[in-house]
Structures are given as structure tokens and as C-alpha cells.
């Protein structure tokens, strides 16, 4: 994940896909659990996978960030990112995935701006 730029560039080059048609989907510690945020372009915001993609594509590709929040007790990042969801989070996952799918389908069909309107206005669980 942290070094996803070079393989993504290889795929994009092979299939002649412009960066604006590549949707990066990433977890985001800085968004509350279940909150989604879609942007047509932007910065890495501290996300190493996005930094890697930006190093090969520049900032002009869309991204869907899926909030995982930080560990409520310790604020610890690595164990939280690699750990398991708690029971409450696990129960909320189907609705989160459904909202992601709706956003991705909207992006494919109608473009980034329309998808932003759908995804960014949705309320987190």
C-alpha cells in the first residue's frame, strides 16, 4: 500500500488509463470511523499510499477516503490500522461498504463531482 505508485503507473501505462480515471481508495485515520470523503484531486494528507501515487501521477487523480478514526484509547496508528474492527464497527461495515459502492458507481457513471456530491453528503454511522 505504501509504495503503490510504481505498480499503479505500470498498469496505467499498459492500459493507457489517464490519472483522472484512476480512483484511489484508501483508509484514513484522520476521518472518524465510517465517514467518507471523495475528492477529484488533492494532497496526500499524510497518507503514504497517496504520497506514492502522487509521486508518479501528480495530484490530479480522484481519491475516496474511508474513515477508520484513531484508536480511542491510545491514538496509536499502526496497531489500529492493522488491527481488527470492534463489534460495533463490524456491524457498521455493510452500510459503509454500500455507501462506497454507490460513490464508486456514481464516479464511474457521472464523474467525480457527482460522486463527491453523493459521498461527501452521506452521514457516517
Q: What is the pLDDT of residue 25?
A: 96
CA dihedral 22, 62, 41, 45 (to 10 degrees): -110
> What's the pLDDT tens digit per position in 51-109?
999 999 999 999 999 999 887 666 667 676 778 888 999 999 999 999 999 999 999 99
Q: What is the pLDDT of residue 62?
A: 95
**Segments making up each domain of the chain, as ranges:** 5-119
pLDDT > 60? residue 125: no
Q: What is the pLDDT of residue 124?
A: 59
CA dist 55 → 4, 6, 33, 35, 50 (Å): 10, 9, 28, 26, 8
Q: For domain 5-119, is the CATH number 3.40.50.1470?
A: yes
pLDDT-derived band at 3 (thresholds 50, 70, 90) equals very high
Residues present in the chain in total: 125
Rounded to an integer, what distance in angstroms lies between the CA atom of residue 44 and that of residue 31?
A: 14
Reported pTM: 0.88
Contacts of residue 95, defined as CB under 8 A and 6 or more positions apart, other chains included, come to 34, 125
Q: What is the pLDDT of residue 5?
A: 95
Q: What is the pLDDT of residue 88?
A: 93
Amino acid at each position: 500500500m505504501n509504495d503503490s505508485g510504481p505498480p499503479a503507473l505500470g498498469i496505467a501505462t499498459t492500459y493507457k488509463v489517464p490519472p483522472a480515471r484512476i480512483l484511489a481508495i484508501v483508509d484514513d485515520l484522520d476521518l472518524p470511523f465510517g465517514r467518507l470523503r471523495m475528492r477529484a484531486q488533492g494532497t496526500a494528507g499524510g497518507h503514504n499510499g497517496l504520497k506514492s501515487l502522487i509521486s508518479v501521477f501528480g495530484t490530479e487523480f480522484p481519491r475516496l477516503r474511508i474513515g477508520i478514526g484513531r484508536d480511542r484509547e491510545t491514538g496509536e496508528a499502526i496497531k489500529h490500522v492493522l488491527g481488527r474492527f470492534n463489534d460495533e464497527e463490524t456491524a457498521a461495515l455493510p452500510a459503509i461498504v454500500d455507501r462506497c459502492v454507490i460513490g464508486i458507481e456514481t464516479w464511474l457513471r457521472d464523474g467525480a463531482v457527482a460522486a463527491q456530491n453523493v459521498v461527501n453528503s452521506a452521514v457516517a454511522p
